[in-house]
Structure 1
Amino acid sequence: MKTITAQKESMTIATNAPKISVVVPAYNPGPHIEKLISSLLRQSLPAEEFEVIVVDDGSTDETPARLDELAAEHPHFHVVHIENSGWPSRPRNIGIERARGEYVFFADDDDWFGDEALERLYACATEHDSEIVVGKMVGHGRGVPRELFRKNRFGVTLADAPLVDSMTCHKLFRRSFLLAHELRFPEGRRRLEDHVFVIRAFLLASRVCVLSDYACYHHIRRQDAGNVTAVRMEPAGYYTNLREALDIVDRYTEPGALRDRLHRRWLRNEMISRLSGKPMLEAPEDWVAEVAREVRDIITKRFAPGVAAGLPPRQRAVAFLAERGRLSDLRTLAEWETGVRASATLDRRDLAGHVLSVTVSGHLLSGDRPVTFVEADGRDLLALPVPEIDPDRVDSTVEVGRAKMDLLAWRKETKEEIFLPVETRTERVGVPDGPPGAFQLVHRSTATIDFGTFNSGRTQGQWVLKARIHNCGWTMDVKLPKPVRIPADGTAPVVPAAPKPVSLRQRIRSRLRSLISR
């Protein structure tokens, strides 16, 4: 029996060490763990070349018996049973100590891998001699760092790639690197334990790779909120933990542009986002007020002026209002922002054999009105529905020049998305009923997809085109009509047949049947 109990001493490295150790903390996942198990059993990397270490954190459901059964059937699966620690950190740390692999990958018990993920991650790591490999993530009900996965990136650092956008631990780490720097997860019931571990690893690593041409890891938010961190956070403790991540950045960097850019990640993702749009409006008012107090304290006491100054104008405005405690204006801005959306039109669509060509135009709306800028004193200012904002905070001159629209292909079956090479331009179009100097930005992009070579030939499924508009702090998606279906890898696209029109008589009959059945 390979099931073992936790001990303090580390496992001696074996001469036949596997290439990868997959470490999985598990707590009452029930049937949700089956997708992970199935994906590990399907890996293209031979079973003798990797091991799976599942650390059962005192589960009270059927998980312990299921894991013991799995370990008995498959020699490369190992199970460690421990008393409940209440958080993933201790199981992950035990996994590091037990691991024998050259590399370690941390997975969650309800996520899953692409079939070739481990083989591709290991090949990338060894070819480029990297301490860390970030494999492309696909989000299912949760966000992933999409811009990071725009392209493959080999031998990069925090200084020259947007690695800081990826703060979860679902990555491949060289085990000797973890041991040499005593990299461990902070234990106990706390938040942002991933951030503390990952930001220190990024700062210590000399070579990091981003593998973006294959969907390696599927990251899920369960509908039953079963993830251990799914409950609403307690602001004081949360931002105390966030300050620990900032402390690590300060320890390894000097004051200046790099430190500001790294700090900006937490301002943008963990502070501004909670005081904006639906997240703010849907939260209890007392909770929002507590978050605003914590954010104001960090902005005024921890961040250099360049941190907020480097944000896009929409986010600079939120930071400005938060810094001054203007909760009412933050709420007004959040209400307006919930109406901001991308609108796009498919202007041209040609399908010839394997090749699809499209031209798309798009812009941002708030409700039924365009997101508007006003040219004043040689600057382009973002028009927002709150008074008395420092014009420097809404100065969009630089961002207007950078605004663009990407086109992406999204596969319905797997939720993976791929950036398409585009030719794009942006035009300033006047807003006739707006204030003097008012204009909106209209984007036009063209792309051609050869489904004979697209995605390295992995094309089977239904592909939907999406337009993604990047504009002054917003990144908004809109799906385009007329998806294509690829019956099998390498075959030509098929345009799904349009649904048959339903006559008025059929609609009336259907409605009557529905009423009668009630």
Structure 2
Amino acid sequence: MTQPDVTVVIGAYEAMPYLVECLASVEAQTIDPGRVEVIAVDDGSTDGTGEYLREFADRAPMSVTVLRQENSGGPSGPRNVGLGKAAGRYVFFLDADDRLGPEALERMVAMADRAGTDVVLGRVEGVNRSAPKSMWGRTLERTDVFSSNIMFTLSAQKLFRRELLDRHGIRFDESLFTGEDALFTMEAYLRADGVSVIADHTCYYLVGRDDGKHVTKSGGYVLRFDSARALMNLIADLVPEGPRRDRLMVRPFTITLLPQFGPRFLKDSDEVRRHKLSLAQPLMDVHWTEGVAARLKVEERLRLHLVAEQRLELLTELLEFVRTKQQAPAVLGRRGRRVHLAYPHFRDRTAGIPDSVYLASPREARTVPGYREGGARSVLRRAARKARRVLTPSRRTTPDGSAAAA
């Protein structure tokens, strides 16, 4: 039997009626059906999901295997079961309530074969829900997690070279009930020999369920801290200290941890607030660095600084300010080349927060009237202009009115 090019792994739990369009999108793929196998794992559904999968297997033009198991409580188990049975050169994880775009598999496999990369990201669009956007600026045949925005899409719906996953034993962590795909995908990015991005063709539709049961919306706040801890530890294990690690740490700090100390924090009981701070403290102690802080917006940096310092009262006051959607006044210094954003407690001696926490990034500062961009590049430009003045001969006027070098 010829090895399939791609195995589509579908973990399905109570997926009706969304499963109908999901499987239709698989059946409509333009890639030769002989190059595809589908492994669908019914995770203990009771709504007809299993029956519909078996009907699909009977009529589908490609090889379809349907497995049934007792409910595992999360997406990791079914995905691992499907991955363990996969025979394809590549594996694609398709959620049962989402759907593939036209030509998705054909384009992604062709990209991986042409570029020799281990992971391929196909453009994602949201249907009744948001989808990541910052990584789709242009198609990239070969990039990596340090020189692109792919770290901001860590969902599992990507094409992975199966040999990469098997060689490193990359599997979904079944102890996590949220963020398990972020851990899996980040490890694949870091171990991959190149990543490709297809930005000019929608390969995946992320569908928002009307019943609100999408897995990423479930789980309490403790699970979010578990997810942040796991991702931070993975990054620290695989990337040496320095700017590259700091850059990747921005992802778990801003996407996973920071929302726990956003507007919802004001609605939490005092007990929950203190519990969240206690859960965050070991993460801040180990992974919060100046390099990470410098990459954040002032308001984000200030929030996390107060979390690191366990300043509950000041954090609450800051969030009340943010909730009113007030603009923090800009304070210019160094002849307009430095901007501080005066959020609450700026230069308040009692609070004792360093000015550096309020220092605007160049992107934030450029929106402030009167700001003059400084930094190393500006210094070099000024030095170059001075050198040209010194090296260029001055001109003087001769008695006949012509110019001559001095």
Q: Distance in 1 between matches of 2:322 and 2:342?
A: 12
> 1:144 — aligned with what?
131
Tell me: CA distance 1:47–1:371, structure 2 relative to 1, closer, same or farther (3 Å): farther
Equivalent residue number for residue 373 of structure 1? 330
Distance 1:179 1:319 in 2: 37
| Cα distance in 2, alignment partners of residues 225 and 151 from structure 1 | 32
Task: Give the distance between the partners of 2:87 and 2:77, measured in 1 at CA.
Answer: 18
Choose which of 183, 192, 204 in structure 2 pairs with 1:217. 204
Letter in 2 for 1:396: A
SS of equivalent residue, structure 2 residue 331 = strand
Aligned pair partner of 2:341 in 372, 382, 389: 382
Quote how far apart the aligned CAs of 1:188 are. 4.0
Which structure shows the higher strand fraction? 1
Tell me, in whole angstroms, the C-alpha distance in 1 between the residues paired with 2:269 and 2:36. Answer: 47
Counterparts of residues 291-302 of structure 1 (less than 5 Å): 291-302=276-287
Which residue is 2:86 aligned to?
A: 99
Alignment of 1:324-363 (within 5 A): 324-338=309-323, 340=325
The alpha-carbon deviation at position 310 of structure 1 amounts to 2.4
**CA separation of 1:288/1:17 partners in 2, compared to 1, >3 Å: closer, same or farther?**
farther
What is aligned with 1:393?
357
Q: CA deviation at 1:286?
A: 3.8
Which residue matches 1:59?
45
d(CA) in 2 for partners of 1:74, 1:283: 50
Q: Deviations over 1:340-361 (max 9, x none)?
A: 4xxxxxxxxxxxxxxxxxxxxx
In structure 2, the CA distance between the partners of 1:312 and 1:234, relative to structure 1 (3 Å rule), is: closer
Deviations 1:462-492 (A, max 9, x none): xxxxxxxxxxxxxxxxxxxxxxxxxxxxxxx
Q: Distance in 2 between matches of 1:140 and 1:337?
A: 30
Residues 108 and 299 of structure 1, relative CA distance in 2, 3 Å threshold: same
Contact 1:333 1:384 (C-alpha < 8 Å) held by counterparts:
yes
Secondary structure of the equivalent of 2:339?
strand
Kindly indicate whether residue 238 of structure 2 is the aligned counterpart of residue 252 of structure 1: yes
> Separation in 2 of the partners of 1:34 and 1:286?
45
**2:12 pairs with 1:26:** yes
Change (3 A) 1:272 1:241: closer
Q: How does 1:221-300 map to 2 (within 5 A)?
A: 221-235=208-222, 237-276=223-262, 278-281=263-266, 283=268, 286-300=271-285
- 1-structure distance, mates of 2:204, 2:269: 34
What value does the CA root-mean-square deviation take over the aligned residues? 2.3
Matches within 5 A, 1:423-502: 428-429=368-369
Report the TM-score when normalising by structure 1: 0.65
Gaps of 5+ in 2: 372-406
TM-score (norm 2): 0.82
Query: Alpha carbons of 1:20 and 1:270: their partners in 2 closer, same or farther (altered >3 Å)?
Result: same
Distance 1:35 1:161, change over 3 A: same
- Per mean C-alpha deviation after superposition, the further-off stretch among 127-136 and 183-192 is 183-192
Are the counterparts in 2 of residues 332 and 386 from structure 1 also a CA contact under 8 Å?
A: no
Deviation at 1:323, TM superposition (A): 1.6
Secondary structure of 1:147's match?
A: coil
**Residues 327 and 177 (structure 1), Cα distance of their counterparts in 2 relative to 1, 3 Å cut:** same
Matching residue within 15, 39, 56 for 2:25: 39
1:381 partner amino acid: H
Cα distance in 2 for partners of 1:331, 1:305 equals 23
State how far apart, in whole Å, the 1-side matches of 2:265 and 2:247 are: 25
AA matched with 2:13: Y
Residues 27 and 60, structure 2, Cα contact 8 Å, conserved in 1 = no
Cα 1:160–1:395, aligned 2, differ >3 Å: closer, same or farther? same
Letter in 1 for 2:54: D
Aligned partner of 1:155 among 137, 142, 162: 142
Q: How many residues of Structure 1 are paired with residues of Structure 2 in the alignment? A: 363
Flag the 1:57–1:371 CA change in 2: closer, same or farther, 3 A.
same
Greater share of helix residues, 1 or 2? 2
Deviation, structure 1 residue 143: 4.1
Higher RCO (C-alpha 8 Å, min separation 6): 2
Amino acid at match of 2:172: F
CA distance in 2, matches of 1:339, 1:115: 44
Is it true that 1:306 corresponds to 2:291 in the alignment? Answer: yes
- Does residue 85 (structure 1) correspond to residue 49 (structure 2)? The answer is no
SS in structure 2 of the partner of residue 16 of structure 1:
coil
Deviations for 1:219-256, whole angstroms, at most 9, x for unmatched residues?
A: 13323221234224242x54234322222222222111
Indicate conservation of the 8 Å contact 1:381/1:397, yes or no: no
Partner residue in 2 for 1:463: none
Give the aligned partner of residue 174 of structure 2. Answer: 187
In the alignment, what sits opposite 2:308?
A: 323
Q: Which has the larger radius of gyration?
A: 2
Instruction: State yes or no: 1:197 paired with 2:196.
Output: no
- CA separation of 1:141/1:371 partners in 2, compared to 1, >3 Å: closer, same or farther? farther
CA contact (8 A) 2:25 2:101 kept: yes
Q: Quote the offset at 1:371 in angstroms.
A: 5.7
Partner of 2:385: none
Identity %: 30
Question: Match for residue 471 of structure 1?
Answer: none
The offset of 1:75, in angstroms, is: 4.2
